Chain A
C-alpha cells in the first residue's frame, strides 16, 4: 500500500465548510471511505451522508487512520495537533496561508507521534482505483504505473491528464504543497515510490525554492533504478519574488531552477522543457 488504500478510514476536519463539503463529496464518489466529519459546534448533524462531530476524539469509534484538514489558516495548527494527539497517522492539510511557525510545530509533533504529514497548501494524495484524499479532479486519472509527485495543484492535474491522454496511467499522485516548510518532501516520496510494486516509472514536478529536488536527485542517483522524468518551473522567475507559492522563491542565490535541473540531469533524470513533453519522455514499458 502506498500511504492509503481503499480500506483507509478518513475523517475530514472542517467538513461543513465550503471546500470541506464539496471535496468530501468528491472523495466519496472516488471511493474514499470518509467515515466521519469534524466541525466544532456542528456536532450531531450530517453532510454528504457523513456524521459530523464536534471533536476528533468523538470520531475514534470509526477507527480513523487519516484526517483531511480543511479549516481556515489561523485554526490549522489547533486542528492538526488535535488529530495528531488523537493518534491519527496521516495528517493532510489542504489549507493555504498557514503561518510557517505553525507548520514547524505541526511537522515536529507529527514526527514525534510517528504520523505522516502531507502539506500544508497541498492538493492531496490519490492512489488510483483505491482512495483519494484531497482536491484533485476525479476524472483525470487512469490506473497505471506512473507515480507523480509535485509541489503544485493545477499544473499537476494538467500533467496527470497529459499522461492519461498519452495512453499511460497513474499508480499514485501526491501534491506535496507549495509552502517553504512541508511535511512530506521529494526525498521522502521518492523512497516510497521506489519501494512501490505498482510504480514502474516516476515523474517529479519541482519548482524554484529550497533544495529538496537536489536531495531527491542525489537519492535517485544512488538507489533508484526506475526511470524518472523531471520538470522544474520557475526558470524565468526574478530572484527574491514569491511566485504565487510561498515556497517558490529564489533566496540569496539558492533554490534556482538551474541548480535543480542540473541535479536532475546529473542523476540521469530526463528533464522536460515543457509540461507537454513529459508523456514523450516516459518509457513504453
Chain B
C-alpha cells in the first residue's frame, strides 16, 4: 500500500518528525486565507512531480487560488490530481536523503543516507550513499545515528538523532516496507524538516492497520475490484486474456506468450482451487478486460484439470463467450479435462508451447 505524501507526513508528525506544516484540500473552497508563501503540492503517487509541473509556489492569495485551480483535477504524469497539500514554504540551506527500507539479503531493515538529497536516490552515485544494516532484534540505538552522522554534514546532531529514532519507530510500528524522506531539509536556522514523504505499508499487515485499508490508487480500477476476489489480477497492455494457476506458472505463461511475440492482456492467478465457481469468477474478470483471445494454462495439483475444464465449458455458456478459448491442461485428471473440452469444441493441448503456437496461428490466419 503506497501512501500519499500528506498521509506519510501525518505519520511523521505522529512520531515527532518535524514537517513543514500544512493542510490538504479537495477543492479550492477549502483554501485558507493566505498569510505567507506556500508550496502547492499535487497529491499523486508518482516521482518527479516537480519536473512534471505538479508543484507550484504561491506568494499571494491570488496566486494561491489560481495555482490551486490549475492543479486540481489536472493530469500530472497521467494521474488525476484529486488532492493538494498546501504547505508553508521552507528556506532551504541544504537537502539530504534519509530512508529506511527492507534488505532481502540481511533479512532486516536498512537505513540509507546521503548528503545529496532532493533527487532520485537511483541517480545519486554509489559512493555518495551510505547504508547501515539493522539487526531487527537489536533495533535502533543512538550509536546508529552517530555512525550515520559521520557521513552527513549536519550541525544539529541531536535533532537528527531524534528524527532517525522516530523514523525507525514509525517503520517498525506501522509495518512499513519503505519510509523515505527526500529531501530531508536543513533550513536557514539549521532546523531539520521532512520535505517530502514516501511511505509504503506492507499489504500483509493491514489486518492490524485498519486505518490504511483505503483504495490503492497504484492499482487500476479492475485491479482494485479483483483485490476483493480470491485471485491476483494485474492489467497489462496486450490483447490475450490469461488465466493460469500459481503465480510462478502465470508469470511463465506471460513470458512464453511474449517470447512468441504475443501480448498478454493480464496476469490472473487462479490459485489452488477445486471449484467451478472460481473458474467462472476468473472468466467474468478476464472478460471485463475485453481480450481478443483467452488462454487458460493449468497444471493440476490441488486444482483438478477436469474441474477447470468443466468451469471453462460452463463459463463459455454462461457469459456467451465469442472469443477463441485456447487451453493447455496438464497434471491431475488432464485427459478427462481435455476430453470434456474437445467435446464442447474448445481446443485443448497437453503442452504449453503447442497451445501458444495455436494462438499464433489464429493471428496469422486473420
Contact = CB atoms under 8 A, between A and B. Distances in A.
Nearest to A72: B207
Interface in A121-149: 135-137, 139-140
Contacts of B232: 242, 244
Contact of A243 (B135, B203, B251): B251
Interface stretch (B9-17, B33-41, B55-63, B104-112): B104-112
A191 to B, nearest CB: 15
A150 B107 contact: no
B363 to A, nearest CB: 17
A100 B264 contact: no
Contacts of A180: 102, 104, 177
A9 interface: no
Contact of A100 (B204, B249, B301, B302): B204
A108 B135 contact: yes
B332 A245 contact: no
Most chain A CB within 10 A, of B177, B232, B248, B252, is at B248
B250 interface: yes
Contacts of B331: 137, 157-158, 161
B251 A237 contact: yes
Interface in B245-304: 245-252, 254-259, 264, 267, 269, 272, 299, 301-303
A237 B235 CA distance: 11
Nearest to A206: B248
Contacts of B362: none
A236 interface: yes
B136 A108 contact: yes
B16 to A, nearest CB: 21
A253 B122 contact: yes
Nearest to A233: B251
B267 to A, nearest CB: 6
A107 to B, nearest CB: 4
A268 B188 CA distance: 56
Contact of A212 (B104, B247, B272): B104
Interface in B317-358: 330-332, 351-353
Contacts of A161: 299, 330-331
A42 B256 CA distance: 47
A152 B254 CA distance: 15
Interface stretch (A32-40, A43-51, A57-65, A273-281): A273-281
Interface string B172-201: 100101000000000000000000000000
Contacts of A205: 248
Contact of B246 (A101, A109, A153, A253): A153
A154 B269 CA distance: 11
A105 interface: yes
Nearest to A175: B248
Contacts, number: 160
A31 interface: no
B208 interface: yes
B252 A233 contact: yes
Interface in B203-255: 203-205, 207-208, 218, 232, 234, 236, 245-252, 254-255
B251 A104 contact: no
A99 B236 contact: no
B202 A99 contact: yes
A112 interface: yes
Given A112-B137, A237-B251, A157 B202 contact: no
Most chain A CB within 10 A, of B104, B177, B254, is at B104
Given A178-B247, A212-B105, A233-B255, 17 more contacts: A73-B204, A98-B204, A108-B136, A112-B137, A153-B248, A157-B301, A157-B331, A180-B104, A180-B177, A208-B251, A211-B104, A235-B259, A237-B254, A243-B267, A244-B248, A247-B104, A248-B247
14 contacts: A99-B175, A99-B202, A100-B202, A101-B205, A105-B136, A112-B137, A137-B332, A152-B246, A155-B299, A178-B248, A180-B177, A207-B248, A242-B232, A274-B252
